[in-house]
Amino acid sequence: MRRIAGILKFFWRSRLLGRDIPLIASVKLSYRCNLACRACPFHSLSGGPETHMTWDTARRSLDTLAQSGCPIVVFEGGEPLLWEDGGHSFSDLALYARERFSCVAATTNGTLDLDVPTDILWVSIDGTRDTHNVLRSGSYDGVMENLRFARHPRLYVHTTLNRLNWKELRRVVETVTTIPAVKGITVQLFYAYDQGEDDLALSAQDRQNALLSALALKKEGYPVLNSSWSLKAMINNTWTCRERLLANINPDGRMSVGCYVKDRGRVVCTRCGFTPVAEASGAYALVPGALLAGMRVFLAS
C-alpha cells in the first residue's frame, strides 16, 4: 500500500495540480566499483575528490528529493552495494530511504550479497557466459551463483543490449527465468558516452532487431517487463521525452533534473536507449501499456 499511495499522490500533485515533480531519481552513490565493465564510463572516475558520497550528503540529498515529492529512488554506481561511510552501510542508507519514499530500488553488478533491504533490486546480466565475461570483468559465474541463492523478494535481471550481446538475448532470458528468485527481466539499449566504448553501439538495423527480439520473447510469454509500446517506440525513438520526470544525483551531491546523460556525456536524443525514461514518459501520458508495465515493476508485491 505504501508504494501505491505514493505513486497516486505523485500523479495527483503532478498531473492534476500541475506541480513540477520528478517521478524517478537516479542516485549515484559512488563511482567506486569492484569491476571495470567495458560499457561503463563511471568506474574510471573513482578515486578523485567527491566521487564517493558521504553519509551526510546522502541524507541531505534524499531529504531534498523527498521534500520535492519524488516517489521512486534508484541507487546506482559504480557499485552501490559497496557504499559505506562513517560506519554506515548501504543497508543503512536503503532503510533511511524506505522511510521517505514510496519505492526504493538499486541496480547492482550482482557480485555481492544480494540480501539488501530495497523494495526492488536489479542485477545486470549482459550476455551469455563468455560475452558477459568480456563485458563485465569475468564475473558471470559469481553473479549466477548469487542469483541462485538470492532471497531478495523482488529481484529482476537487467540487460543492456549492445553490438556484442543483442543476439544472445533469447539465451539470457531462457537461462535467468529458470532461477526462482528472478521475477522478470528488463532491457535497455547501450548508449555511448564517447569515452572509448563507442564500438559497442548498435547500428540502426541491429537496434531494430534487438528490440524486435525482446518483443518476440514478450509475446511468447517470457517475463520481459518492458511494455510492448516502449519497445516499439524505441526502434526509431518515436516517443515524447518528458525528461523533467527524471532527477539525477551525483556522488558530490549535485542534483539536476532532465536527461540521464546531461553533464555525463554528449546528449544525442536520436541514439537514446534509456527505456526506463521512455516508459516513464509513456506512463505520465497515460499510455496503457506503459502504465501497466510501471505497475508490474514498481507496485507488485
Question: What pLDDT does residue 131 have?
Answer: 98
Mean pLDDT of 280-285: 95
Mean pLDDT of 133-140: 98
In eight-state DSSP terms, residue 224 is B
Long-range pairs for 249-252: beta carbons < 8 A, 24 or more residues apart: 249/25, 249/26, 249/27, 249/28, 249/61, 249/65, 250/28, 251/28, 251/29, 251/30, 251/31, 251/50, 251/51, 251/52, 251/53, 251/78, 252/50, 252/51, 252/53, 252/57
Q: At what angle do helices 275-284 and 288-298 cross, to 10 degrees?
A: 120
What is d(CA 138, CA 115) in angstroms, rounded to the nearest whole number?
22
- Across 38-52, 112-126, 264-278, the highest mean pLDDT is recorded for 112-126
What is d(CA 113, CA 134) in angstroms, rounded to the nearest whole number?
22
How confident is residue 198, by pLDDT bands cut at 50, 70 and 90? confident
Question: What pLDDT does residue 137 have?
Answer: 97
| Residue type at 123 in one-letter notation | V
Per DSSP, the residues of 115-169 read: ----SEEEEE--SSHHHHHHHTTT-HHHHHHHHHT---SSEEEEEEE-TTTGGGH
Domain ranges of the chain: 2-298
- Other C-beta atoms within 10 Å of 128: how many? 16
Question: What pLDDT does residue 1 have?
Answer: 67
Cell 578515486 locates to 47
pLDDT tens digits, one per residue of 8-21:
888 888 888 888 89
Cell of 31: 563511482
Q: Are 71 and 85 in contact (CB under 8 A)?
A: no
- What is the topology classification, in CATH, of domain 2-298? TIM Barrel (3.20.20)
pLDDT tens digits, one per residue of 210-240:
999 999 999 999 999 999 999 999 999 999 9
- pLDDT of 269 above 70: yes
How confident is residue 277, by pLDDT bands cut at 50, 70 and 90? very high
Q: At what angle do helices 55-68 and 90-98 cross, to 10 degrees?
A: 20
Q: Are 212 and 224 in contact (CB under 8 A)?
A: no
Helix (H) or strand (E) holding 232: helix 228-235
What is d(CA 10, CA 41) in angstroms, rounded to the nearest whole number?
32
Question: What pLDDT does residue 263 have?
Answer: 78
pTM for this predicted structure: 0.95
Which among 276, 162, 173 is positioned nearest to 218, based on CA atoms? Answer: 173
Residues with Cβ within 8 Å of 218's Cβ and at least 6 positions away in sequence, in order, are 224, 226, 228, 231
Helix (H) or strand (E) holding 176: helix 169-176
Mean pLDDT over each residue of the chain, to the nearest integer: 94
Q: Is the peptide bond before 78 cis (omega within 30 degrees of 0)?
A: yes
